[in-house]
């Protein structure tokens, strides 16, 4: 995410931070490089100009320049102003004064609107809230079937009417059903179009007037850059948007849309999509994204993801196994599965402070998702006895495991050697009270 922009900003700011006390010429030079990086990232030139002026005004303050750590001050100012153009504060979903909150989702064809409908419902479900999805997209063939299939995969009901010709009546009936059931949310998936035109807007305005939504959210493909800003303005003028969702952000190396759209439209970003999986929708935190962009990581999101996936009792049991030197390949495979649930390795690295800045120098073949999949396939081809005691795996067993997993004997040997080294390291760690004390600190 924003890899190209992040690398350039990291290079500039790392030089600034290392200088200690800065001169005015140092600040001017750094800001010039930042300006070029933002423009190359397809950030709107007016947004860039405002951002640079704000940073410059604060950075050239006499008190900042007098400081022996003025370089660090400039980095801090840059992060704060970056957070500001991303929206500043978190914009929560507005709730209805009644029981059921109505969310109207809009978007052009290909923005990922239907999938986002399911992702949002799944997000609410994971937060302990109920919802109903309404299939009011009668424009796109198979849109109803797609939403129903997605609903089944996350075990959330979908209201649909395959015989209906009017999306307004479908939306209205679906909302009424959700309110009758007393659900927390109802999310209406509407039809898309290739462009913003009057006929398309009139249809959406009619739906809005009939269901009185608490949130009118536009789903945008972040990969379209500045065009997404134009699209958002078109929708906003006709429907008065209350929020935005940026999809495919994990594949956006530049970041022009995310860094321009709030300032240009005045509409806050509510969620961001970071992958194809139905649990890859995140609540948008401007300060966390600015930290990621500047290579400072995102510890809070990392902790939140970890807490959702790793059970406290399982973690304690694992700690005890490590202490007793009983950590086996079965445990190792479980840890790999939990890591993969947190997202791609690249995304996890972006959340860890300092790692994203050196990510390009790391051999991704050693830590990539493909590598994890290969390891899991090898372990899955082992018998339960072999996973519990890897020492019994001789030549004939290695040949069988390699054949069963579709890998080479060399791959099997490499995994076993790495695992043996890991066991030795864990045995050293578990000696004395070190690991026990760490465990008490974490789980007290």
Whether the model clears a pTM of 0.85, i.e. scores above it, the answer is: no
**What would be the CATH architecture of the domain defined by 101-285?**
3-Layer(aba) Sandwich (3.40)
Strands in 215-221's sheet, in edge-to-edge order, are: 158-159, 131-136, 185-190, 101-106, 215-221, 243-247, 269-273, 281-283
pLDDT at res. 128: 94
Q: Distance (Å, rounded) from C-alpha 319 to C-alpha 339?
A: 17
Residue 409's Cβ-side half-sphere holds a number of Cα atoms within 13 Å equal to: 8
Domain ranges of the chain: 3-85, 101-285, 301-443
pLDDT at res. 249: 86
The beta strand positions in 240-349, using DSSP E, are: 243-247, 269-273, 281-283
pLDDT at res. 344: 60
Q: What is the pLDDT along the chain (444 residues), one digit of tens a residue?
A: 677 888 888 888 888 878 777 888 888 999 999 999 999 988 999 999 999 999 999 988 877 777 767 778 888 899 999 999 999 989 999 998 888 999 999 999 989 999 999 999 999 999 999 999 999 999 888 899 999 999 999 999 999 998 888 999 999 999 999 999 999 999 999 999 988 888 999 999 999 999 999 999 999 998 888 888 999 999 999 999 999 999 988 877 778 888 999 999 999 999 999 888 898 899 999 988 888 888 775 455 555 555 566 666 666 666 666 666 677 888 777 777 776 666 665 665 565 555 455 455 444 444 556 777 888 899 999 999 998 888 899 999 999 999 999 999 999 998 898 888 777 766 665 554 444 443 443 333
Residues 6+ apart with CB under 8 A from 280: 119, 250, 273, 274, 343
pLDDT at res. 50: 94
Q: Distance (Å, rounded) from C-alpha 59 to C-alpha 22?
A: 10
CATH topology of domain 3-85: 1.20.120
pLDDT at res. 251: 79
Residue 223 neighbours by CB distance under 10 Å? 18
State in words which class domain 301-443 has: mainly alpha
pLDDT at res. 351: 54
The runs of H, that is alpha helices, within 155-285 are 167-181, 198-211, 226-239, 256-265
pLDDT at res. 440: 42
- Alpha carbon of 379 to those of 321, 387, 411: distances in Å? 19, 7, 11
Q: Distance (Å, rounded) from C-alpha 183 to C-alpha 133?
A: 11
Q: Note the Cα 390 to chain centre separation in Å.
A: 37
Instruction: Kindly tell me the sign of the dihedral angle through the C-alpha atoms of 75, 77, 83, 85.
Output: negative
Tokens of 127: 């937060």
């Amino acid at each position: 995410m924003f890899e190209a922009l992040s690398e350039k900003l990291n290079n500039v700011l790392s030089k600034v931070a290392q200088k200690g006390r800065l001169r005015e010429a140092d600040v001017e030079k750094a800001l010039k490089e930042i300006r070029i990086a933002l423009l190359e990232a397809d950030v709107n030139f007016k947004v860039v100009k405002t951002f640079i002026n704000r940073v410059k005004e604060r950075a050239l303050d006499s008190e900042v320049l007098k400081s022996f750590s003025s370089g660090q001050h400039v980095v801090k100012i840059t992060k704060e102003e970056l957070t500001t153009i991303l929206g500043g504060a978190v914009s929560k979903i507005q709730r209805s004064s009644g029981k059921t909150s109505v969310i109207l989702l809009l978007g052009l064809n290909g923005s990922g609107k239907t999938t986002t409908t399911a992702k949002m419902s799944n997000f609410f479900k994971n937060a302990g809230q109920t919802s109903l999805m309404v299939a009011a997209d009668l424009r796109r063939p198979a849109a109803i079937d797609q939403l129903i299939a997605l609903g089944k995969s996350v075990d959330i009901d979908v209201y649909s009417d395959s015989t209906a010709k009017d999306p307004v009546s479908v939306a209205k009936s679906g909302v009424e059903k959700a309110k009758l059931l007393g659900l927390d949310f109802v999310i209406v998936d509407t039809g898309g179009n290739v462009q913003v035109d009057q006929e398309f807007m009139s249809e959406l305005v009619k739906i809005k007037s009939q269901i009185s939504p608490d949130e009118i959210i536009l789903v945008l493909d972040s990969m379209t850059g500045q065009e997404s800003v134009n699209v958002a303005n078109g929708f906003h003028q006709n429907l008065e948007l209350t929020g935005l969702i940026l999809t495919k952000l994990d594949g956006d190396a530049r970041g022009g849309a995310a860094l321009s759209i709030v300032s240009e439209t005045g509409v806050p970003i509510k969620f961001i999509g970071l992958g194809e999986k139905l649990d890859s929708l995140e609540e948008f935190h401007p300060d966390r994204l600015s930290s990621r962009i500047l290579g400072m990581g995102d510890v809070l999101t990392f902790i939140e993801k970890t807490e959702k996936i790793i059970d406290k009792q399982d973690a304690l049991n694992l700690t005890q196994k490590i202490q007793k030197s009983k950590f086996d390949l079965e445990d190792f495979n479980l840890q790999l599965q939990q890591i993969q649930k947190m997202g791609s390795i690249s995304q996890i690295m972006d959340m860890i402070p300092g790692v994203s800045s050196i990510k390009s120098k790391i051999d991704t073949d050693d830590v990539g998702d493909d590598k994890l999949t290969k390891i899991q396939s090898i372990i899955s081809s082992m018998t339960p006895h072999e996973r519990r005691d890897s020492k019994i795996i001789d030549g004939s067993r290695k040949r069988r495991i390699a054949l069963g997993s579709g890998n080479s004997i060399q791959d099997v040997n490499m995994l076993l050697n790495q695992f043996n080294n890991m066991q030795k390291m864990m045995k050293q760690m578990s000696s004395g009270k070190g690991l026990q004390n760490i465990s008490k600190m974490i789980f007290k």
